[in-house]
Amino acid sequence: GAVVSQHPSRVICKSGTSVKIECRSLDFQATTMFWYRQFPKQSLMLMATSNEGSKATYEQGVEKDKFLINHASLTLSTLTVTSAHPEDSSFYICSAREVVAVTETQYFGPGTRLLVL
Amino acid sequence: AQTVTQSQPEMSVQEAETVTLSCTYDTSESNYYLFWYKQPPSRQMILVIRQEAYKQQNATENRFSVNFQKAAKSFSLKISDSQLGDTAMYFCAFKAGTASKLTFGTGTRLQVTL
């Protein structure tokens, strides 16, 4: 299957600072990428849909000013957690949508573990 | 809105045996797709198998197969000849044909034992 990378894999930051997470589709172009948050032993919670060249679509309850998403190219989306607080500590996963003919598949990055002190 | 239900939080199977994971969904869509994803301890989500709702034939990928019952809105995953590497969290997911996002179930934690 297609490959999606995510960087960094792990980050520790101080409360009040901002953290940027990158998501890249390595061998395909993705007009749409997704950002999820996963709490321990729980399912994935969709935060937002990232659209290349346009504004992201946020799910209900997700603060767009806190979780800034930029999808500047067909292979890169970034999530910036602004003014991070300890409650933002979590596992963040991105995915990229690959479309081949009429077949559509989401491929996932390996995730980023964020710890805010 | 669509919902996906996985009623088995945890399951265990012995190596080389067969196990079936359950998934039901609710939707008013006529065109949709169903997926099973695996999340091993590394936490990397891996696509296991997919099924298009318009296809009557059940999808198969090596040791993994599905039992897709459209009328019952059921989409179970069968793992044959279970291997230790199959130990993981398994998520069932739904995608409406007109939408791009996935709706995930709560997951089933599968433990393969010797």
Task: Write the pLDDT tens digit of every residue in B58-79.
Answer: 999 999 999 999 999 999 999 9
Query: What is the reported pLDDT for B99?
Result: 82
**Model pLDDT for residues B22-52, shown as the tens digit of each residue:** 999 999 998 999 999 999 999 999 999 999 9
- pLDDT digits 0-9 by tens, A25-42: 999 999 999 999 999 889
Question: For an interface test with A, which of B101, B106, B108, B109 has the most A Cβ atoms less than 10 Å from its Cβ?
Answer: B101
Give the pLDDT of residue B80.
Answer: 98
Distance CA B29, CA B36 (A): 19
Torsion of CA B90, A33, B67, B31, to 10 degrees: 150
Helix, strand, coil proportions of chain A in percent (round to 5)? 5, 55, 40
What confidence score (pLDDT) does residue A61 get? 94
Q: Does B11 touch chain A (CB under 8 A)?
A: no
CA distance B37 to chain A (A): 10
pLDDT category of residue A101 using cuts at 50, 70 and 90:
confident
- Residue A78 near chain B (CB below 8 Å): no
Cross-chain residue pair A49–B101, CB shorter than 8 Å? yes
Q: CB-based contact (8 Å) between B36 and chain A?
A: no
For residue B92, the number of C-alpha atoms closer than 13 Å in the C-beta half-sphere is 29
Q: Determine the residue of chain B that is closest to A38 in CA distance.
A: B43
Rg of chain A taking only CA atoms, in angstroms = 14
Judge whether residue A76 has pLDDT over 90. yes
Mean pLDDT of chain B: 95
Q: Residue A2 — very low, low, confident or very high, per pLDDT cuts 50/70/90?
A: confident
